[in-house]
Amino acid sequence: MGSMRPDGPRPGARPRLLIVTPDFPPAPGGIQVVAHRLAAGIVGMEIEVIAPDSPGAAQFDAASGLRVRRVRGGGALRGGRNALLNFAALAHALRFRPDVTLSAHIVASPAAAAIRRLLGARTVQYFHAEEIGAKPRLADFAARHADDSIAVSAYTAGLIADVAPSARRVHVIANGADIPVDPSPRPVDRPTIVTIARVEERYKGHDVMVRALALVLAKVPDAQWVVIGDGSLRPGLEQLARSYGVADAVRFLGAVRDDERDAWLARAHVLAMPSRLPAGQFAGEGFGIAYLEAAAYGKPVVAGNVGGAVDAVADGETGLLVDPNDPLAVAEAITRLLCDGELAARLGAAGQARAQQHAWPKVVERVEALLLAGLGSSSSGQAPAPEAGRPNR
């Protein structure tokens, strides 16, 4: 079926952008942050968001001032519930009539493709990493039916090339960081290691951290590990900590408010999240916003030397990249940063400068330019250049 209206925004009106996402605050998570920062930061477009309902959503939306249409059926849409999100997005698009649809996750790509076919709206597809390995056929569909795709790292762009060689244009636009007004360190009475991640995906490396902590404590006996995030793996990790005799040095805080998370980043000496490739060696960490969040507070980081972390952390410059499957390597890197204040300060300062370069307003500006590219022209028109030094795929 052909387009129901001519391409391009209405004369004199701001282009309309529909963001379709299965992940949106107040639910926690990295994709939630990306979708929200884009919705809140893009200024040159009229924006509406289609997202699932979740506890506290009505209060969040009222305070945010964003135009969010919530889809009932649970905050973590899966399987048939994803169909509800797509159906609601398509139904709303017929009323809203967007000029551009931004699909924040591949599970929203069927709606984005249908909107493109029915209304002629340009489609931009976001790719993170884990979903590409989990749903390669859907990832291929999403890439082939988008005018442009955004990969959050060069690693993610490579994953797209593997499953969707006929993707039209893929641009690497790294995730961003919120820059704190006051990044000054706060006092803490013990050497403190922080991990910020949902305790849901094994590839995040919480289990390796437990084993590494036993080795860290041998050299830094008063160290503590603060775990921010919750999930189904937490009981098993608590048991693992007890079995390794490190339970007294671990604080599982669960999900916390943003201000409490930021307070711990200000207190921390090191952020450690040794993400690894999951079974099958495919996908895993697409970028790792937590690395930049820590860097914004001047904290050095320890990360796995695989996946998107390689884009987020400059080894030996803003942090240390190590074998994420080796507790000894993780422990040695953490201990080195806890014991060598000069090194930690140097890496932290460089990380802080890097975070400034990736501040969300700068990231949003690049995404907005891509969203606006080609409006009023055919889908074969030129798109903005990808991130400096990163070729189109």
> Within 13 A of 269's CA, how many CA atoms are on the CB side?
24
Average pLDDT over residues 353-367: 96
Q: What is the average per-residue pLDDT within 161-175? A: 94
388 within some domain: no
Asked if residue 223 and residue 138 are part of one domain, the reply reads no
Nearest Cα to 272, choosing from 187, 215, 335? 335
| Total-model pTM | 0.87
Residue 384 lies in a domain: no
Most confident among 3-12, 24-33, 136-145 (mean pLDDT): 136-145
Are 245 and 347 members of one domain?
yes
* Structure tokens given for 157: 């762009």
- Locus of tokens 């209405």: 10
Give backbone dihedrals phi and psi of 227, rounded to 5 degrees, phi first: -105, 115
Closest CA to 288 of 163, 203, 191, 347: 203
| Domain membership flag for residue 217 | yes
174-183, 190-199, 246-255, 372-381: which range is least confident on average? 372-381
Res. 303: pLDDT tops 50: yes
Residue 235 lies in a domain: yes
Domain check: are 324 and 242 in the same one?
A: yes
Distance CA 327, CA 60 (A): 40
Mean pLDDT score, 35-64: 96
CA distances from 214 to 275, 305, 326 (A): 19, 22, 13
Number of structural domains in the chain: 2
Which residues is 71 bridged to in the sheet? 52
Same domain, yes or no, for 92 and 160? yes
The pLDDT of residue 388:
38
DSSP-assigned letters across all residues of 213-280: HHHHHHHSTT-EEEEEB--TTHHHHHHHHHHTT-GGGEEEEES--HHHHHHHHHH-SEEEE-----TT
Total count of residues recorded for the chain: 393
The closest alpha carbon to 324, from 191, 230, 231, 197, belongs to: 197
Beta bridge partners of 172: 151
Q: Classify the C-alpha dihedral 266-195-223-335 as positive or negative.
A: negative
pLDDT at residue 28 is higher than 80: yes
Q: State whether 127 and 140 are in the same domain.
A: yes
pLDDT at 9: 54
Q: Which two tokens stand for residue 55?
A: 């506890």
Q: What is the CATH number for 90?
A: 3.40.50.2000
272 vs 153: CA distance, rounded Å = 20
| Domain membership flag for residue 185 | no
Contact assessment for residue 104 and residue 25, using Cβ atoms and an 8 Å cutoff: no
- Asked if residue 46 and residue 25 are part of one domain, the reply reads yes
Query: Could you read off the pLDDT of 108-138 as tens digits, one per residue?
Result: 999 999 999 999 999 999 999 989 988 999 9
CA-closest candidate to residue 295, choices 361, 222, 244, 349: 349
pLDDT for 277: 87
Domain that holds residue 291: 192-357
Asked if the model's pLDDT at residue 387 lies above 70, the reply is: no
pLDDT tier at 282 (50, 70, 90 boundaries)? Answer: low
For residues 2-11, average pLDDT: 49
